[in-house]
């Protein structure tokens, strides 16, 4: 039965060849040298034409010269590309066979039927127009397993890499869990953001060139190659060089300490310098204390050399670190050099009292220094007298001193009858240096 069908096919093909020089299968009107129409009426029929199936090894083992110019256009299907071994006279003709598929002989070598098409994986090519790759919501990944780069280049004068989105265009760079994102939101700020395990962000040059920040097309800030920073200048001569009208404003400053914080000055070229602390310049800082309530029979119980506390109130205190206990009339000093001036005014209506003598025991280091003052005056109700006792001294930190006035030894007044005036009796403390 099979033999009969074969003879029939040979008869049909042979007859077609002699009559028409064309062969048709499943057609009586072939349109080419060989015209095969699929058997569409039988769903179990396997339609198709199968080229000779052969391995790369078998082609390489062909005798030299088996395939030449006379075989140009020969078509085979390579079903195995295992590298040839053993005797392979035609090895050079199979060098381009790299994957299973259809190959044709071009008169010299076997070539893949797609050889004339550009394969972007192993060949260069040129776009003939705009091309779009629609990912359909899927990720497109370029994965380079080596340390080589994946490059997007252009031979034009401007190379651009564009990432566009309806709400955000962004480029993300990832190394492990360290992330760097460059993105621009619609109608918002462009941003460069690090996240994840990233430990920071460097903006750097690896050669002797500056870094500049521009706004509105103009350079606003420059970091020179040597590290100097210029604002309003591209050639900073100092670590920070600002060139502008009203160039500096500082807000949110806290109060300084005159004894430790250095003063800032600007020289004729605009360079900022320090000239030491306010204390080191010996500019006085005052503290003022005043007797608010007159003291009757003051020193009445004190003999010569005795003293009595003068209960003053603080009027003004601009000396950092100086404190006053109004309950005990005691001043606590920060270390420094001081000038203390005690001003008193009073009367002493006592028989034979015409010469009043007073003293103040001023603080000096850990001890004290007694300074006297004596005033002559009338008897009785017109015995008004006053004086000023001034002393310059140095004291250590936290030295305490109680405001007091004592009875001197060169006067002739004692006992009751003395009135120490309020308002005109006061103490002035000036801190004049460290």
Higher per-residue pLDDT: 4 or 150: 150
Higher per-residue pLDDT: 137 or 430: 430
Is the per-residue pLDDT at 71 higher than 90?
A: yes
Residue 116 is predicted with a pLDDT of 65
Least confident of 14-23, 126-135, 233-242, 370-379: 14-23
Is the per-residue pLDDT at 146 higher than 80?
A: no
Delimiting residues of CATH 2.60.120.40 domain(s) in the chain: 285-433
Backbone angle region of 2, left / alpha / beta, with phi > 0 → left and psi within -120 to 50 → alpha: alpha
Averaged over 246-252, what is the pLDDT? 91
Residues in the chain: 434
Per-residue pLDDT reduced to its tens digit, 204-228 = 999 999 999 999 999 999 999 999 9
Is the per-residue pLDDT at 1 higher than 80?
A: no
Q: Smallest Cα–Cα separation from 344: which of 277, 299, 397, 301?
A: 299
Per-residue pLDDT reduced to its tens digit, 400-433 = 999 999 999 999 999 999 999 999 999 999 998 8
Residue 7 is predicted with a pLDDT of 43
Answer for the pair 23, 17: CB distance below 8 angstroms, yes or no.
yes
Report d(CA 194, CA 181) in Å as an integer.
6
Q: Smallest Cα–Cα separation from 313: which of 403, 418, 430?
A: 403
Confidence of residue 393 (pLDDT cuts 50, 70, 90): very high
Topology at the third CATH level for domain 285-433: Jelly Rolls (2.60.120)
Averaged pLDDT score across all residues of the chain: 89
Confidence of residue 118 (pLDDT cuts 50, 70, 90): low
Cβ-in-10-Å burial (0-12, 13-18, 19+) of 344 comes to: buried
Least confident of 16-20, 147-151, 273-277, 427-431: 16-20
The pTM for the full model equals 0.49
Segment (H or E) for 219: strand 218-223
Higher per-residue pLDDT: 188 or 371: 371
Is the per-residue pLDDT at 4 higher than 70?
A: no
Averaged over 1-17, what is the pLDDT? 46
Residue 2 is predicted with a pLDDT of 41
For 323-355, the DSSP string reads EEETTTTEEEEPSEEEEEEEEEEEEE--TT--E
Residue 107 is predicted with a pLDDT of 93
Per-residue pLDDT reduced to its tens digit, 307-366 = 999 999 999 999 989 999 999 999 999 999 999 999 999 999 998 999 999 999 999 999
If you ran DSSP here, which 8-state letter would residue 387 be given? E
Q: Smallest Cα–Cα separation from 74: which of 49, 52, 94, 98?
A: 52
Averaged over 371-385, what is the pLDDT? 93
What is the percent of the chain with per-residue pLDDT over 90, rounded to a whole number?
A: 64
Please give the structure tokens belonging to residue 313: 């109130």
Answer for the pair 232, 246: CB distance below 8 angstroms, yes or no.
no
Per-residue pLDDT reduced to its tens digit, 228-244 = 999 999 999 999 999 99
Non-local (6+) Cβ contacts of 210 within 8 A are: 222, 223, 224, 225, 234
Per-residue pLDDT reduced to its tens digit, 24-51 = 888 889 888 888 888 878 888 888 888 9
- Give 344's Cβ-side CA count (13 Å radius): 30
């Amino acid at each position: 039965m099979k033999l009969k069908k074969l003879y029939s096919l040979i008869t049909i093909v042979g007859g077609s060849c002699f009559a028409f020089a064309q062969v048709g299968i499943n057609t009586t009107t072939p349109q080419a040298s060989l015209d095969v129409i699929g058997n569409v009426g039988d769903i179990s029929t396997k339609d198709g034409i199968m080229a000779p199936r052969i391995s790369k090894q078998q082609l390489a083992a062909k005798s030299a010269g088996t395939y030449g110019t006379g075989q140009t256009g020969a078509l085979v299907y390579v079903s195995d590309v295992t590298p040839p071994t053993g005797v392979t006279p035609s090895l050079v003709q199979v060098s381009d066979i790299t994957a299973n598929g259809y190959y044709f002989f071009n008169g010299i070598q076997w070539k893949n039927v797609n050889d004339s098409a550009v394969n972007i994986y192993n060949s260069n090519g040129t776009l003939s127009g705009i091309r779009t790759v629609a990912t359909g919501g899927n990720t497109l990944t370029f994965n380079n397993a080596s340390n080589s780069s994946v490059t997007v280049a252009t031979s034009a004068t401007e190379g651009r890499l564009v990432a566009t989105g309806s709400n955000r265009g962004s480029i993300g760079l990832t190394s492990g869990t360290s992330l760097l994102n460059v993105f621009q939101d619609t109608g918002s700020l462009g941003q460069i953001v690090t996240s994840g395990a990233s430990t920071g962000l460097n903006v750097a040059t690896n050669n002797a060139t500056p870094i500049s920040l521009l706004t509105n097309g103009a350079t606003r800030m420059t970091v020179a190659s040597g590290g100097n920073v210029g604002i309003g200048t591209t050639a900073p001569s100092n670590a920070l060089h600002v060139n502008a009208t009203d160039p500096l404003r500082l807000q949110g400053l806290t109060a300084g300490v005159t004894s430790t914080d250095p003063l800032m000055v600007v020289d004729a070229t605009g360079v900022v310098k320090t000239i030491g602390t306010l204390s080191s310049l010996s500019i006085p800082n005052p503290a003022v204390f005043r007797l608010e309530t007159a003291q009757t029979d003051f020193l009445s119980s004190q003999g010569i050399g005795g003293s009595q506390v003068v209960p003053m109130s603080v009027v003004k205190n601009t000396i950092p670190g100086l404190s006053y206990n109004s309950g005990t009339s005691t001043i606590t000093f920060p270390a420094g050099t001081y000038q203390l001036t005690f001003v008193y005014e009073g009367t002493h209506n006592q028989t034979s009292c015409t010469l009043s003598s007073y003293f103040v025991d001023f603080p000096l280091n850990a001890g004290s220094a007694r300074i006297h003052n004596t005033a002559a005056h009338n008897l009785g109700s017109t015995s008004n007298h006053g004086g000023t006792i001034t002393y310059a001294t140095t004291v250590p930190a936290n030295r305490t001193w109680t405001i007091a006035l004592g009875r001197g030894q060169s006067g002739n007044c004692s006992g009751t009858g003395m009135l120490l005036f309020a308002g005109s009796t006061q103490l002035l403390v000036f801190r004049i240096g460290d």
